[in-house]
Amino acid sequence: MGTRIVLYIIILSIFGCNKDNANNETEIQGTYKGIFERDGIVSNVELTLYGGTWIGESERSKYPALCNGTYSISRNVISFENACAWTAEFDWTLILSDDWNYDIKGNLLVLMKSNGDKYELSRQ
């Protein structure tokens, strides 16, 4: 009987995690407008997230470097892949890619990276 309980807990955990990620995916989908900030320098941005793909633009050229790509979510981390080709004349750490912690409350989405970069976005 103990084996059945352990097996049941494992199955419940697996499906529970998948459900959380699916809920996070649905919760985060939408078009957002707001700001990107690095070291006190701010730029207005627009970012659309839908079905594992994203597209974005910034009022300042390559600050941040937004284009399009894919994303995935695991708990409170969103991982971006950027699908665009970029030239070499700017700081490539400004390209939206890699892992970002995120927090969503109502219409406000905040993305934070370990280097201090931050997006504060409102759902449209």
Sketch out the chain's domains with CATH numbers: 2-123 (2.40.128.50)
Q: How far apart are CA 110 and CA 100, in angstroms?
A: 10
- The pair of three-digit structure tokens given for residue 120, joined into one six-digit string: 């504060």
Predicted model pTM: 0.79
- pLDDT tens digit at each of 124 positions of the chain: 555 554 444 444 444 444 444 456 668 999 999 999 999 999 999 999 999 999 999 999 999 999 999 999 999 999 999 999 999 999 999 999 999 999 999 999 999 999 999 999 999 9
Q: Which of 25, 32, 21, 20 is nearest to 109 (CA)?
A: 32
DSSP run (H or E) holding 39:
none
Alpha carbons within 13 angstroms on the beta-carbon side of residue 96 total 33
| Three-class DSSP category at 123 | strand
Tokens 């941005």 sit on residue:
45
Across-strand partners of 122? 33, 108
